[in-house]
Structure 1
Amino acid sequence: MDKFSDMAMFVSIVKHQGLAAAGRDLGLSPATMTARLQALEERYGVKLLNRNTRHVSLTDSGELYYKACIEILDNVTEVENIIQNGVKEVKGSLKIVAPKDIGKQYILPILNEFSELYPDVVPYLYLNDQITNIAESGMDIVVRYGELADSSLISRRLSPSRRVLCASPEYLAKHGTPLEPQDLVSHDCLAMLRNDEELKTWHFQENDKKRAITVVPKRFSDDGEVIRRWALEGAGIALKSILDVQADINNQRLVTVLNGYMKNFTTSMSVSSADLNVVYISKKYQPKRIRLFLDFLFDRFNDLVEKSEIKRG
């Protein structure tokens, strides 16, 4: 088989997390998939995948090969579109993942506008609060909060943000308003789950003084939108991004508390630690549809943020 077909096969294996599922997608038997993967590894003299009966994972060499395959296949698709339809034609898939609150309130309306302008671009919008391996996710664009550790990826700030503690007026009237972080221990708190980790240690800073408070949550969810809804229903106090809850605060559905403190799920208290970022894999030849959407996203997001009256301080 040619190298291009092998690249497509390898990307499919990573995407489907297994040879059998990838084989069904490609119309190939498990035996054929195994033989082709073995031949590919023998050709380069390296192991590309760690395999067991349940899943596959990339080796260091496999991750390099996978990233190169994604870039080459995207470039070929882009060139084919140009040849077949002309330079002005914009078409193909656009895969975006974002937290649910941000995805529904901001990304979805922007994507709807973009789709009207470029109807031949097929959007895939994944709403997910979990942090995954971006390089292996198959996503074109990842919208996420916080700082980025992987230097092989490009991260651009979409909007400044910060964490706030918030609750409904009804909850505060019934249970009282916390005046310092330690008071949270006796309150009903709503905590996030991230990759099965309970984010119940909340970090605070006032001037140069830092402290960590381990709350006793009454409810957990891995979905930020659920946490926000519980807060609106009066179930407790939530630690949220201001971008998620500004409209609720403006309409007095939620009230912020402990406003004199910087807050976060982690020990990081840098100004950028809670910002909203757009992350994507560095590519020399970024497909035109992705470049256009990135420009459109940054332009329109600023408008939506201004309309929602996000407070910077």
Structure 2
Amino acid sequence: MADRFAEIESFVKIAESGTLSEAAKRLGLSLAATSRRLSQLEQRLGVMLIRRNSRHLSLTDEGSLLYEGAGRALSAIDDIETDVMRRATEASGPLRVVTTIGAARMRLAPIFRQYATLHPDVTVHLETAEQATNIVESGHDIALCFDPPPDSALTMKRLTDNPRLLCAAPDYLNRRGRPGSVHDLAVHDNIVAGPVQQDLWRNLLGDAPGPRVTLSTNDGELARAWALDGAGIVLKSMWEVSDDLDAGRLQPVLPDVTLPAASIVALYMPGQGEMAKVRSCLDFLARHLNKGLAAA
């Protein structure tokens, strides 16, 4: 295939140049190599493409037919290569991102709308999934995750840290009282969402009695809904409950207790980070996620 392309490219250059010597100069080849490519092409196709003598070249009918079609094809290839190279330096083309349902609805949708407005040559496609780490099979450019698996073979970029805290509804705290220490959590109603939170609770309590878990779920949004309904104390990230805290629907519990922050990270294929659309998106997300959490 490479030889066929070289033969066609040489033929087009000969037809455009008018002489073999000029075509050879434009191709960066010797006169003998340029002439040989033309002869090989004519032999392969079984027709004469160019009438030639020591002074003049002219296309045969078959040569004109080939030149017209091949010229368009080479021009199209040049255009495609230019577009591909442009995407390495200018953000353009489709950008496929996957993240969790709650993150997309609560925070990311307006951020990506701003990004799309500032980058009109990029077409943003934001998808949601229960797990957003397997982008090799799904064909996404970026996965936005929270505490992703440590053994991922993908490139990982930390965008920001998302502080965690304990909180509860005012109704619950008025009814059951406000705990004064982590030891008091053993006699409170506590809501746990998923295995990661179970580990966080264990690390938080240390040698203290384990929390009295009255409700557990694998759905973070459901855990938040239970807390808003006054069902107990929940451990949430600032991203998830900042609006509830601002509105007074939830209040911090044991605010002096330090919990490990959740990392908001982007996962992408090695090398993809050099693409302008991916690089510009990651930079934009890092700025706006940090800004949003600082405001919270």
Question: What residue is the counterpart of 1:106 in the other structure?
Answer: 107
CA contact (8 A) 1:230 1:236 kept: yes
After TM superposition, the structure 1 = structure 2 runs for residues 236-251 of structure 1, keeping only pairs within 5 Å, are 236-251=232-247
Question: What residue is the counterpart of 1:96 in the other structure?
Answer: 97
Task: Give 1:112 deviation, angstroms.
Answer: 0.3
Question: What residue is the counterpart of 1:83 in the other structure?
Answer: 83
Match of 2:215 among 198, 202, 218: 218
In 2, Cα distance between equivalents of 1:256 and 1:216: 18
Q: Secondary structure at the match of 1:229?
A: helix
1:149-190 per-residue CA deviation (whole Å, 9 max, x = no partner) reads: 236332222222332111111111112223333443443333
Cα–Cα, structure 1 residues 176 and 102, in superposed 2: closer, same or farther, change >3 Å?
Answer: same
1:50-92 per-residue CA deviation (whole Å, 9 max, x = no partner) reads: xxxxxxxxxxxxxxxxxxxxxxxxxxxxx94743895576443
In 1, Cα distance between equivalents of 2:244 and 2:192: 19
Cα–Cα, structure 1 residues 110 and 167, in superposed 2: closer, same or farther, change >3 Å?
Answer: same
CA contact (8 A) 1:181 1:204 kept: no
Identity percentage of aligned residues: 31
Which deviates the most, 153-162 or 168-177? 153-162
Task: Give 1:191 deviation, angstroms.
Answer: 2.5
Match of 2:287 among 299, 303, 308: 299
Q: Work out whether 1:125 is the aligned partner of 2:138.
A: no
Question: What residue is the counterpart of 2:227 in the other structure?
Answer: 231
CA contact (8 A) 1:81 1:91 kept: no
CA contact (8 A) 2:191 2:232 kept: yes
In 2, Cα distance between equivalents of 1:172 and 1:151: 41
CA contact (8 A) 2:95 2:125 kept: yes
Structure 1 letter corresponding to 2:162: S
Task: Give 1:113 deviation, angstroms.
Answer: 0.8
Structure 1 letter corresponding to 2:83: I
In 1, Cα distance between equivalents of 2:179 and 2:154: 40
CA contact (8 A) 1:90 1:121 kept: yes
Structure 1 letter corresponding to 2:213: V
CA contact (8 A) 1:168 1:231 kept: yes
Q: Work out whether 1:257 is the aligned partner of 2:245.
A: no
Structure 2, unaligned runs of 5 or more: 1-78
CA contact (8 A) 1:190 1:218 kept: yes
Question: What residue is the counterpart of 1:268 in the other structure?
Answer: none
Cα–Cα, structure 1 residues 124 and 182, in superposed 2: closer, same or farther, change >3 Å?
Answer: farther
In 1, Cα distance between equivalents of 2:180 and 2:122: 51
Cα–Cα, structure 1 residues 285 and 185, in superposed 2: closer, same or farther, change >3 Å?
Answer: closer
In 2, Cα distance between equivalents of 1:251 and 1:150: 39
Structure 1, unaligned runs of 5 or more: 1-78, 264-270, 309-313
In 1, Cα distance between equivalents of 2:292 and 2:86: 33
In 1, Cα distance between equivalents of 2:254 and 2:156: 30
Structure 2 letter corresponding to 1:161: N
1:99-141 per-residue CA deviation (whole Å, 9 max, x = no partner) reads: 4443333321110011123344332323345464455453322
Match of 2:277 among 273, 289, 307: 289
Q: TM-score, normalised by structure 1?
A: 0.57
Cα–Cα, structure 1 residues 139 and 183, in superposed 2: closer, same or farther, change >3 Å?
Answer: farther
Counting matched residue pairs gives 216
Cα–Cα, structure 1 residues 284 and 292, in superposed 2: closer, same or farther, change >3 Å?
Answer: closer
Q: Secondary structure at the match of 1:160?
A: strand
In 2, Cα distance between equivalents of 1:134 and 1:213: 38
Q: TM-score, normalised by structure 2?
A: 0.60
Q: Secondary structure at the match of 1:191?
A: strand
CA contact (8 A) 1:231 1:237 kept: yes
Cα–Cα, structure 1 residues 190 and 131, in superposed 2: closer, same or farther, change >3 Å?
Answer: farther
CA contact (8 A) 2:154 2:269 kept: yes
Question: What residue is the counterpart of 1:274 in the other structure?
Answer: 262
Indicate the structure with greater helix content. Answer: 2
Cα RMSD over matched residues? 3.4
CA contact (8 A) 1:94 1:123 kept: yes
Structure 2 letter corresponding to 1:203: R
Structure 2 letter corresponding to 1:190: I
